[in-house]
Amino acid sequence: MTLFRASVLDTPANPFTGGRLRSDEDCGLLVEQGVITARGPFETLRTAHPDEPVLDLREGILLPGMVDTHVHFPQVRIIGGLGLPLLDWLDQCALPEEMRLADVDHARGVAHDFVSGLVDAGTTTALVFGAHFAGAVDTMFEAADQWGLRVTTGLVTSDRLLPEPLLTTPERARAESRELAGRWHGKGRLRYAVTPRFSLSASDALLESCAQTVAEVPGAFFTSHVNENVHEIREVASLFDGAAYVDTYDRHGLLTPRSVLAHDVHPTDRELATLAGRGTAVAHCPTSNAALGSGLFPLRRHVEAGVRVALGSDVGAGTGFSLFKEGLQAYFAQQLLGEQGLPLTSAHLLWLSTAAGADALGLADEVGVLSVGRQFDAIWVLPEPGDPLAVGLANAASADDALSKVFALGTTSDVGGVWVGGDQTAAGRWRRPRHR
């Protein structure tokens, strides 16, 4: 048992429907076997539990662990390939790198770099876009298991229009996916996600095999891309007899509350109604949308249609692992949309980075907020004394203001500690994550 003492910020209620930031300045959190079993004023908990060891984190701010709902493991080494739109970026940056993951030893190194990136950014839960090679996906599961992260991932599948080494067949995709799911789904904090790359590179036969795999792996997730780029959308329509992009998945029964589609920058109203009706969540990836010039995300239309939205870094088109940066870019995008935008407060940004992601991944009862009964997944924001974030926090007018400063100024190097299920996975900004 450990008694944590900290200034705690989280969002137990959705700010898009009236919820507000919860701020407890001298908060006690009692953690037993990874679960928060009591929360209240520190002195009250101290009196009730006088003998438990205390971890005093009052110097910084304690937040729930970040939840990244869209991030590509094979792309960690190509972050920063700027200057190209989506389809050119795929051809010139992403796909050549993804082909290298046919070599399992190479993939293992990439998986190590990737998981280090997640932990350093304070990401404790992620829906990870895997690789096109089963051996590489194994290395991803191994690395996530080693660090104890909550990772949902799977084999990425495609059967057309990509370079030949990245292609499979519906039969092989199903067999390899089932084998991987058999090995990893439900092991520790790991789960399987059926993952066609996007319907541009997936025939109806492949999508049907994905539906069969989802049915064969109880509790599996489904993830893919949708409506990212106007040229891509046009190509998809021409391949599917004019079908709307969302419908290419929906007509195979792939959209459920356990599905997450990335981007959705250019949806029609009817597509939004379909997503809302299916309970499917959208991973909004703001730095990627800006870097590739994909467009400004219509958040207001999603919220008004009742579509669940969370944040994704979309590494490597996204420009890093930090969800502070994604939150800030989400805020910028809504500002730039003018009257069509949805002005965001710091509470919205924290919700999108934590509890909304937990909800999108079916983990709302386990993580996303620091309430009694939840797992202790938390990050300690601890800027270097004297740096602008530390100065800002010392002079913040309110908890909401302090949180705004975290999103405006915070970087991965401000994450001073990371806990998953009560285990500290990284401690100190310059140290590599410690193996469990």
- How far apart CA 415 and CA 251 sit, in angstroms, is 43
- How far apart CA 165 and CA 167 sit, in angstroms, is 6
Among 67, 62, 11, smallest CA distance to 360 is for 67
- How far apart CA 142 and CA 255 sit, in angstroms, is 28
Residue bearing tokens 């935008």: 341
Contact predicate 26/41, CB 8 Å:
yes
- How far apart CA 312 and CA 356 sit, in angstroms, is 11
In the bound complex, what is the minimum distance in angstroms from residue 225's beta carbon to Zn ion? 6
Looking at the Cβ atoms of 159 and 314, the one nearer to Zn ion is 314
Looking at the Cβ atoms of 262 and 265, the one nearer to Zn ion is 262
Looking at the Cβ atoms of 61 and 128, the one nearer to Zn ion is 128
306: CB partners within 8 A, 6+ apart: 276
In the bound complex, what is the minimum distance in angstroms from residue 383's beta carbon to Zn ion? 30
Binding residue count for Zn ion, defined by CB under 5 A: 2
- How far apart CA 41 and CA 316 sit, in angstroms, is 42
For β-strands 190-196 and 221-226, DSSP reports them as: parallel
* Region from 192-200, 256-264, 325-333, 413-421 binding Zn ion, contact rule CB under 5 A: 256-264
**SS3 of 103, please?**
coil
Looking at the Cβ atoms of 285 and 350, the one nearer to Zn ion is 285
- How far apart CA 242 and CA 239 sit, in angstroms, is 7
Looking at the Cβ atoms of 262 and 378, the one nearer to Zn ion is 262
In the bound complex, what is the minimum distance in angstroms from residue 126's beta carbon to Zn ion? 13
* Region from 58-66, 200-208, 258-266, 372-380 binding Zn ion, contact rule CB under 5 A: 258-266
Structure tokens at 164: 């030949």
Neighbours of 199 (CB within 10 A): 27
Among 304, 308, 249, 313, smallest CA distance to 280 is for 308
- How far apart CA 345 and CA 367 sit, in angstroms, is 22
Looking at the Cβ atoms of 72 and 278, the one nearer to Zn ion is 72
**SS3 of 346, please?**
helix
- How far apart CA 286 and CA 380 sit, in angstroms, is 24
Looking at the Cβ atoms of 323 and 402, the one nearer to Zn ion is 323
Looking at the Cβ atoms of 262 and 358, the one nearer to Zn ion is 262
Q: Within positions 285 to 324, which residues make up the interface with Zn ion, using CB under 5 A?
A: 314
Q: Which residues bind Zn ion (CB under 5 A)?
A: 262, 314
